[in-house]
């Protein structure tokens, strides 16, 4: 007896969830055709789906998101995936426009009935609406999760429309920013840098978020550099006073201080030299003295950026040097250790083929004195730095010739570290010989210095220099 072919029940898949024909009847033109192919006693069916038109998809979306849909979870699921859907639609202009208008209308209707009073309502604060689950309703009659999903997917919506289409959704974005829903404003604060990269200057929105509670301020501070990068220079200057005020206000939590210290690296590169030296450098110096090592390590990377700007401005360079040189003679070993970390950050940004004359003139004298530091951790950090200093070709050549002040300082520092009583210091410095003995140095093919010179192709030139 031959088994009869299975019946085909039309179904649609959308956003990862499927609705069978029992709950949503597909258009007649989209029904699949089943063909039975004999293969033994189990004839499989081959489904040949027909193309669903844009008009039919519009009808499906209206059914999934309309009031006729009994499940709040189904309605919420559509908006949860709306960003991916907009990106995946490609050139389907009519369907995109329909979805965009749906989002705009949903947000604007909710805002018109709820407004904003700086509240902290979140999904957890709301009761189940009884309509299949999925979150409570506002007084505006819009499920709260729907508004949250729209806010979460707004960068995708902005990316689809690009900068040219931003004016169409800008009022809707501002309604979300001002909406009386804490979770919405927090997710918008987390993605402000993405919106700014697409739409440009969002000065008003940044200032609003910086005046919000701690959680929202922290969310926007985490990407402050990328956000300010999209602003005009004038807008960045206008925002700086409130940014500095927030930096002072948020300084109580060390994790937030570390985040702000990390952002300071990019923020310093966005402002003019005098603004950086006069307003941002004092902040960097304060965090350099922080009791938490993670904060000090993060802010150390801001000093090369500040030094790079200051060295082309004589007055700014003097101010920079006056503020940072004190770390080399700080009473606390943490300050002296930070000075070496800062110098390490400067050296790592050097061009191996350039002549780091400014660095050597300003910092080598103080570094040479630290070779006799009573704290071994300071000397270990210095030994690591010396190895990096020798990776610069012109510094090596100047050191071997012995005809410059920096050559003498390097030789003095290497000699002191070579005689150090600590084993770790010796292990770090043992392959770098005392520079006054250059002939023996260049004759020792096993030394690290010889190998570096050989790899850079300067070994013959150095032998000529030393005679």
pLDDT value at position 51?
Answer: 80
Going by the DSSP 8-state scheme, the letter that residue 276 receives in this structure is I
User: CA 260 → CA 47, 226, 355, distances in Å?
Assistant: 57, 13, 33
Q: Region 396-415: what's the mean pLDDT?
A: 72
Per-residue pLDDT averaged across 170-177, rounded?
A: 94
More confident call, 45 vs 243: 243
| Res. 180: pLDDT tops 50 | yes
Q: Residue 44 has what pLDDT?
A: 54
Averaged pLDDT of the chain: 78
Q: What digits encode the pLDDT tens for the residues 224-237?
A: 999 999 999 999 99
Provide the angle, in degrees to the nearest 10, between the axes of the packed helices 154-177 and 182-190. Answer: 130
Work out the number of other CB atoms within 10 angstroms of the CB of residue 434: 16
pLDDT exceeds 90 at position 382 = yes
Determine the length of the chain.
467
- The per-residue pLDDT for 277 is 95
pLDDT tens per residue across span 103-130? 999 998 888 876 544 444 444 444 444 3
pLDDT of 171 over the 90 cut: yes
pLDDT greater at residue 57 or residue 206: 206
Torsion of CA 214, 215, 221, 223, to 10 degrees: 180
Question: In the chain, what percentage of residues exceed pLDDT 70?
Answer: 73
CA 145 – CA 394 distance, rounded (Å): 62
Q: What is the mean pLDDT of residues 318-329?
A: 92
pLDDT tier for residue 390 given thresholds of 50, 70 and 90 = confident
- Is residue 187 predicted with pLDDT exceeding 90? yes
- Give residue 11's pLDDT: 39
φ, ψ of residue 458 to 5 degrees: the values are -110, 10
Q: Which two tokens stand for residue 414?
A: 């290497």
pLDDT at 385 > cutoff 60: yes
pLDDT digits (tens, 9 = 90+) for 237-284: 999 999 999 988 887 888 999 999 999 999 999 999 999 999 999 999
pTM of the model: 0.73
pLDDT-based confidence at 406, cuts 50/70/90? Answer: confident
Cβ neighbours of residue 1 closer than 8 Å, sequence gap 6 or more: none
Instruction: Pick the range with the lowest mean pLDDT from 76-80, 95-99, 396-400, 437-441.
Output: 437-441
Q: How far apart, in whole angstroms, are the C-alpha atoms of residue 453 and residue 462?
A: 8
Most distant pair of Cα atoms in the chain: their distance: 103
- The predicted structure's pLDDT at residue 124: 47
pLDDT score of 127: 41
Query: Over the stretch 418-451, which tens digit does the pLDDT of each residue have?
Result: 888 898 998 888 766 434 334 444 454 555 555 6
């Amino acid at each position: 007896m031959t088994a009869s072919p299975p019946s085909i029940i039309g179904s649609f898949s959308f956003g990862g969830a499927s609705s069978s024909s029992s709950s949503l009847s597909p258009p007649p033109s989209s029904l699949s055709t089943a063909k039975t192919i004999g293969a033994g006693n189990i004839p499989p069916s081959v489904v040949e789906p027909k193309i669903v038109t844009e008009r039919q998809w519009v009808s499906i979306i209206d059914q999934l998101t309309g009031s006729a849909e009994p499940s709040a979870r189904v309605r919420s699921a559509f908006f949860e995936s709306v960003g991916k859907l907009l990106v995946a639609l490609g050139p389907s202009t009519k369907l995109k426009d329909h979805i965009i208008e749906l989002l705009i209308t949903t947000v604007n209707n909710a805002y018109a009935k709820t407004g904003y009073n700086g509240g902290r309502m979140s999904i957890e604060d709301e009761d189940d609406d009884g309509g299949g689950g999925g979150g409570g309703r506002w007084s505006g009659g819009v499920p709260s999760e729907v508004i949250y999903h729209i806010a979460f997917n707004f960068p995708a919506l902005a990316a689809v429309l690009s900068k040219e289409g931003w004016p169409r959704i800008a009022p809707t974005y501002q309604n979300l920013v001002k909406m009386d829903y804490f979770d919405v404003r927090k997710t918008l604060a987390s993605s402000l840098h993405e919106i700014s990269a697409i739409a440009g200057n969002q000065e008003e929105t940044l200032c609003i978020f910086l005046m919000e509670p701690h959680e929202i301020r922290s969310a926007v501070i985490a990407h402050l550099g990328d956000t300010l990068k999209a602003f005009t220079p004038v807008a960045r200057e206008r925002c700086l006073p409130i940014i500095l005020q927030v930096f002072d206000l948020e300084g109580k939590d060390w994790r937030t201080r570390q985040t702000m210290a990390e952002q300071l690296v990019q923020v310093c590169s966005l402002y003019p030299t005098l603004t950086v030296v006069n307003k941002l450098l004092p902040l960097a110096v304060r965090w350099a003295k922080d009791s938490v090592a993670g904060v000090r390590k993060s802010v150390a990377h801001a000093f090369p950026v500040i030094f790079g700007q200051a060295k082309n401005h004589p007055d700014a360079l003097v101010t920079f040097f006056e503020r940072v040189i004190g770390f080399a003679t700080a009473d606390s070993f943490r300050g002296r250790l930070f000075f070496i970390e800062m110098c390490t950050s400067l050296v790592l940004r050097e061009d191996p083929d350039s002549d780091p004359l400014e660095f050597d003139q300003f910092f080598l004298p103080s570094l040479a004195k630290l070779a006799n530091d009573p704290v071994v951790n300071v000397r270990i950090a210095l030994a690591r730095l010396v190895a990096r200093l020798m990776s610069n070709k012109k510094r090596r050549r100047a050191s071997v010739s012995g005809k410059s002040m920096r050559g003498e300082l390097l030789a003095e520092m290497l000699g002191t570290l070579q005689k150090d009583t600590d084993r770790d210091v010796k292990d770090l410095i043992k392959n770098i010989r005392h520079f006054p003995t250059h002939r023996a140095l260049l004759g020792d093919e096993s030394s690290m210095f010889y190998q570096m010179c050989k790899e850079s192709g300067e070994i013959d030139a150095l032998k000529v220099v030393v005679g």
